[in-house]
Structure 1
Amino acid sequence: MRTPWSRPAPRRAALSLLSAALVAACAPAPACAQDEPFTVKTLRFDTRVGPQRDQRCEVVGDLYVPRSATAATPAPAILTTNGFGGSKDDQAPAARAFARRGYVVLSYSGLGFGGSRCRITLDDPDFDGRAGQQLITFLGGGSAATDGTRIDVVRRDTRGSDGRPHEHDPRVGMIGGSYGGQVQFAVAGVDPRLDTIVPQITWNDLSYALAPNNTSLTEGVSAATPGVHKTLWTTLFFSVGLLRGVEYALDDPARLLPCPNFADQACRAKLEMDATGHPSPATVAFARHASVATYLDRVRIPTFLQQGQADTLFNLQESLATYRGLRARGVPVRLFWHRWGHSGGAAPGEIDPAEPERGYETRQSLAWFEHYLKDRGPRPPQDFQFFRDWVDYEGDAGAAYAAAPAYPVGATRTLRLSGTDALVPDGEPVRAGAAAFTTTVASLPTSFTELSALTQSPPVRDLDGTFAAWSTAPLPDDVTSVGVPRLTVRVQAPRSADPAFMPVLFAKLYDVAPDGTVELTHRLISPVRIADPSQPVEIELPGVVHRYRRGHTIRLVLAGGDAAYRGGTVPMAVRVLTDATTPGTLVLPVEGDRGLPTGLEAERAAARTCTSRRTVTFRVPLRRGERITRVETTVDGRRRAVRRGRSLRATVVLAGLPRGTVRVRVRLRTSRDRTITRTGTYRLCARR
């Protein structure tokens, strides 16, 4: 898996898995640095991982040090690692780009990949998180590589995200995609010294990503009922992991047994889901332990979430779950839905590996680090931006992005299922009907939507008699949909307490042109396993950014199988019921970009600075004999210095910040074990 900053590795039988293609200028990192303003050195690190820190894992990484970074003039650092199946070498373009711009960079191979030892543990905080934590200690000067290398050229912090001082605390951020995105959460969850993260195209709940159920959702994308096995993607993952294990078997033969190159639970989970089509409670618990959904409370640092619209592995709902969770906890977070993902490439002008400032998305990442690591430039907006593939532009892709203050955007439009084949606007008469179809034995693939990472070119197909469909009349105007559609239907099917015998359906929305051409937006579908067909079934359809053109029709399809999934194990008859009293409903997010500025316009607005200054003062009288023992002050999640005494003062300097508001929070403990919290929201500056 590669990111916009990565260089593509050899395709290796189509198993490199990420299609954001960026070509690096040269191959081995040390060979590229001779004429560069930085040095590069390959290092190895002994790390101790596991719940008890009793497992030794050797990690290999390349250290990039700008020639301007010294003990007297230290620089901030960036930690980055590969996507699934890759290595530190994939991150060389990112490392060189950041090193040229004055960052110390440590690019390392994740556990089980690219020369790093131990088996694949799926970005579990106890393993991958702890390994990353020890690399942060190295960047902070607190440990040495195996050859004795120590560094003292990284800028230091005085307090972590928990408000406490920590030894060997560097100013450091992380960036990376997919597997290299989730590990950032894993590190943030165990190490308060990490300052900011930029996770790209990654998961919120791995049990959902690999076996999604888009009904009976409890929180975010997590569901109460086991999901539907995403067979093609998991098979690709295991093929990649096995190949990497064989590649390094001579140096580390223990990786091959009993589960080749994976934690033992991973093999059990794969065999189980191949057989039954769904994960057991133990597998769900194993996957969720390696998911930010489980430990989101421990992530307290500014987070720039970047998720792909063209992604059938980690869909847009995954990023929404993390985004909403962080916002609810008051963590500064920005949500960015770009074009590229595991299932499709980047749009022109989104990314530029040689000159990141020329690519809209790579420029946003640079600006994020400039602010949060170098204390330069305006405060990045905590907004929601999304790419629109229907916008014509030349050059910078920012012209095709729309920027909103937050998600969701626009309005909603309700359509109702009528009879056996129609979608009608809310308020129009609804005909009674029962659309019937059959699911096949052993989850035979009666529908085709994608070949996962291999190709998206074959046309979509549904076998007659194995699906039901409802269509609108030709649209009188364009319909712009940004977000997650929601479907409610009444289903008549056999009921079972065993997930293996529950009805399994696949919901999707087609865009049908006047000539009959069918488009399934980015090949996205929503599998559902229905625990109780006697109740209305609420389904989240795939999140999309899509424009249905005037004259086209919107077609809702419920199918009984899909070639990319291990569906139901037994054949069953399914009926979808509708009548005027209880019709099925499809709620579409619409008008998503109406009245919004483009990304470029929002970028220019954010760059406008204020000239005013303002002092915000919180006064907290202390009781007789009482003193302040600990103070934590943040402005939009960023730590600020305070004065101590019989009153508490927190000063916010507004010069150089964009117009808007900031939220100030002061929390202190006293010698009498009192906790006092003061918060306030303030305008940064008035309009000129």
Structure 2
Amino acid sequence: MTIEFHRTGPGPLSPDATEHMVRMRDGVHLATDVYLPAGDVTPGPTVLTRLPYDKTGEYTFMPRVAAWFTARGYRVVVQDVRGKFRSEGETLLFVNEAYDGYDTIEWITHQQWSDGVVGMWGDSYYGYTQWAAASSAHPALRAMVPRVTGTRLGELPVPAPGERTHDVEMSIHRFYPLSMFHDRDILEWELDWTRRPLADAVEEFFQAVGSRSPSYDLWFPHPVKLRRFPAGSPFDAPAVPVLLTIGWWDNCAPWQWSDYRELTQRPAWLQNTFLLLEAIDHENNSHFNPAAPRNSSWMDRYLTPAAEFFDVFLRGNAATIPRVRWQLANSGDTALRSAQIWPPAGVRVTQLHPHPDRTLLLNPASSPTEETWTHDASSPVQSPVRDPFSFLAESPDERDLATHPDVLSFTAAPVTEPLDLAGPITLTATVGSDGPEMDLFARLADVAPDGATHLIARGQQTILDPGRAFEVRIDLGQIGYRLHPGHALRLTLASSDAPEFVPVPGTGEHRWLAATTKPNHQHVLLGGPAGCRLAITVR
């Protein structure tokens, strides 16, 4: 089979920028664009973005972002990270961002247009580069706005020593270094997830391209733990004011919530941490208007919170930034609510219990029973969206999921008055399998009176050697969501969500090396003190 791929190189240089090749401490030069406010020759604060997706490319539209910030008086520096597009050096995920970030900030402070004050901004990988720079503790870094990201972004899930559970492997984990981080360019191609072994298609891709991906080879088949933060954990560095932007439907949100939990355990960081919780997905599509064009009004929504944050912490404006701002999805009201903590004051936790009659009730069934389903990796439960990073752009109706024979579905009675969910959702279950490894996927959805079903929250875990009975706790994330009268909550349990997640082959082999699959029979305990239970946080 011939692997076809499309290569995207660097876009044309912006006429509004001056490009510099900035020298790093090891002699490698990184391509860096500088945008200055029109007619302003005095030194001022700088907004820095370091990204791997092309500093002048259409995907990240950084010249437009720079124009937005420079119109507000900021100097803007945008840099291709090492090994990407116009920058020199080896193309390698994660490992060079700490010291490259430090050296870039140091270079900025010596420019005549800089007043020595730097803030960082950006999404996803260019949110990660902010944390990497923070770990290097450059004193000029005074604020950062990491959006839809995390310090463990893209970290390949492996069990900790002695642990029998870990995160489920996403297809993007190993595919990212085969597309975005294979070499300097972006390589777009389709992997056939029905072929086995999956690794064979990767080798065919390498032959077609004529080169290998160093990042993929470091992670396959046995992952090397990368030194993401050679200067030390960013949480051990001096605290910097940070605005964490998290999307309710961002598939990378678990990493950012993990950071938030870590930050709340560090007093200095806690005092400098602010939350912006939006009804968005990873690509910044809004639940309230998923088809919104990337026009000026969209840019204002996207960038204004960062500018307000920088105005306070880079310029010293006296405005007050609320500690927590959050959107209540499905409320018809796009306004940001304010709170001192998250979850907001006044919430309570309610438990719902799945029953054998496929209902979801406040009280558990009195007699314990087991409900069973079959996982077959050769015919897995299909992922509801083609692009999980743009979940809201597709916003699929998931009603058919409840009809699958390999899915358990439990539906509560329709609510009679608005029910606001505001906080964490967790599932605790005792499960088992006749297979050597088990994935458990839990989805909570809103079922409308006409049957239309849309995702509210989800979570998943891999269980090693589950045996007859293993208690697992699944974090379905955090949500701000209104359930309207006449609508009902539905919980579904399954053992696959492919191809967004790489399915368990059922044989105990490596997911990318298995040539065959074997059906596994799974079960979950309902009722009694150890029965499955869903905890939701409501206002």
TM-score range, shorter chain: 0.7 to 0.9
Counterpart-to-counterpart distance in 1, 2:454 and 2:481: 11
In structure 2, relative to structure 1, the CA distance for the partners of 1:446 and 1:246 (3 Å cut) is closer
State the partner residue of 1:178: 124
In structure 2, the CA distance between the partners of 1:385 and 1:207, relative to structure 1 (3 Å rule), is: same
Which residue identity is paired with 2:109? G
Shift of 1:544: 2.6
State the shift of 1:231 in Å.
1.2
Q: CA 1:479 to 1:234, structure 2 compared with 1: closer, same or farther past 3 Å?
A: farther
2:463 maps to 1:529: yes
* Residues 369 and 549 (structure 1), Cα distance of their counterparts in 2 relative to 1, 3 Å cut: same
Partner of 2:198: none
Is residue 68 of structure 2 the alignment partner of residue 97 of structure 1? yes
Q: Which residue of the partner structure matches residue 438 of structure 1?
A: 374
The 1-side partners of 2:107 and 2:338 are apart by 39
The one-letter amino acid of 1:107's match is V
User: Is residue 2:299 matched to residue 1:339?
Assistant: no
1:252 is matched with which residue? none
Cα 1:240–1:181 shift into 2, 3 Å: same
The corresponding residue for 1:650 is none
Partner of residue 527, structure 2: 579
Question: What does residue 49 of structure 2 align with?
Answer: 80
- Contact 1:470–1:556, Cα closer than 8 Å, also in 2: yes
1:510·1:555 contact (CA, 8 Å) conserved in 2?
A: yes
The answer to whether residue 360 in structure 2 is matched with residue 392 in structure 1 is no
Q: In structure 1, which of residues 37, 61, 70 is the aligned counterpart of residue 32 of structure 2?
A: 61
Q: 1:484 to 1:343 in 2, by over 3 A?
A: farther
> What is the aligned partner in structure 2 of residue 477 from structure 1?
417
The equivalent residue for 2:250 is 311
CA contact (8 A) 2:8 2:186 kept: no
Question: 1:488 offset after TM fit, Å?
Answer: 1.0
CA contact (8 A) 1:491 1:574 kept: yes
Using the TM superposition, give the Cα deviation of residue 185 of structure 1 relative to its aligned residue in structure 2, in angstroms. Answer: 0.6
Deviations 1:230-282 (A, max 9, x none): 115643552233374488xxxxxxxx99x98887243342x43xxxxxxx5x4
Cα distance, 1:184 vs. partner?
0.4
Distance change in 2, residues 1:392/1:453 (3 Å): closer
Are 1:195 and 1:372, in contact at CA under 8 Å, matched by a contact in 2? yes
Residues in 2 aligned to 1:518 and 1:291: alpha-carbon distance in whole angstroms: 46
* TM-aligned CA distance change 1:362 to 1:424, over 3 Å: same
Q: Output aligned runs, 1:1-80, within 5 Å.
A: 30-31=14-15, 33=16, 40-48=17-25, 54=26, 56-66=27-37, 69-70=40-41, 73-80=42-49
- 5 Å-filtered alignment, 1:549-568, equals 549-563=484-498, 564-568=500-504
> What TM-score do you get using the length of structure 1 for normalisation?
0.63
Partner SS, residue 359 of structure 1 = helix
Counterpart selection for 1:122 from 86, 93, 98: 93
CA distance in 2: counterparts of 1:260 and 1:291, whole angstroms: 32
Cα offset, 1:343, TM superposition: 5.2
Equivalent of residue 373 in structure 1, options 314, 318, 323: 314
Deviations 1:16-67, CA, capped at 9 Å, x for gaps: 9xxxxxxxxxx96653x4xxxxxx311111223xxxxx5x432111112335
Match for residue 404 of structure 2 among 464, 470, 489: 464
Q: TM-score, normalised by structure 2?
A: 0.79
The yes-or-no answer on 1:297 pairing with 2:236 is yes
Correspondence for 2:145 = 198
1:590 is aligned to 538
Match of 1:487 in 2: 427
Identity value in percent? 21
CA contact under 8 A between 1:130 and 1:187: conserved in structure 2? yes
* CA distance, structure 2, for counterparts of residue 544 and residue 226 of structure 1: 22
Change (3 A) 1:201 1:532: same
| Cα distance per residue 1:286-320 (max 9 Å; x no partner) | 3x7369995422251110111222322x12x3222
CA-to-partner distance for each residue in 1:561-591, whole Å, 9 max, x for gaps? 1112112121211111123343221100111
Question: Alignment partner of 1:504: what SS?
Answer: strand
1:369 positional shift:
0.8
Shift, 1:351, TM fit: 11
Residues 1:188 and 2:159 aligned together: no
Root-mean-square deviation (Å)? 3.6
Q: Contact 2:373 / 2:405 at 8 angstroms: preserved in 1?
A: yes
- The structural deviation recorded for 1:438 is 0.8
Mark the structure with the bigger radius of gyration: 1
Give a deviation string over 1:435-483, Cα, whole Å, max 9, x none.
11011145x4223322224773655454733122222122232222123
Q: 1:170-217: per-residue Cα shift (whole Å, max 9, x none)?
A: 211111111111100101101332111111111232355x5499xx99
Structure 1 residue 487: deviation in Å?
A: 0.9
- Does structure 2 retain, via aligned residues, the 8 Å contact 1:59–1:110? yes
C-alpha distance in 1, partners of 2:376/2:242? 44
1:29–1:92 Cα contact (<8 Å) kept = no
Separation in 2, partners of 1:490, 1:303: 39
Per the alignment, residue 401 of structure 1 pairs with: 336
Counterpart code for 1:118: G
Q: 1:540 to 1:453 in 2, by over 3 A?
A: closer
Q: Distance in 2 between matches of 1:121 and 1:294?
A: 20
Aligned to 1:113: 84
Return 5+ residue gaps in structure 1 as ranges: 1-11, 17-26, 34-39, 49-53, 142-150, 156-169, 248-255, 273-279, 496-500, 592-688
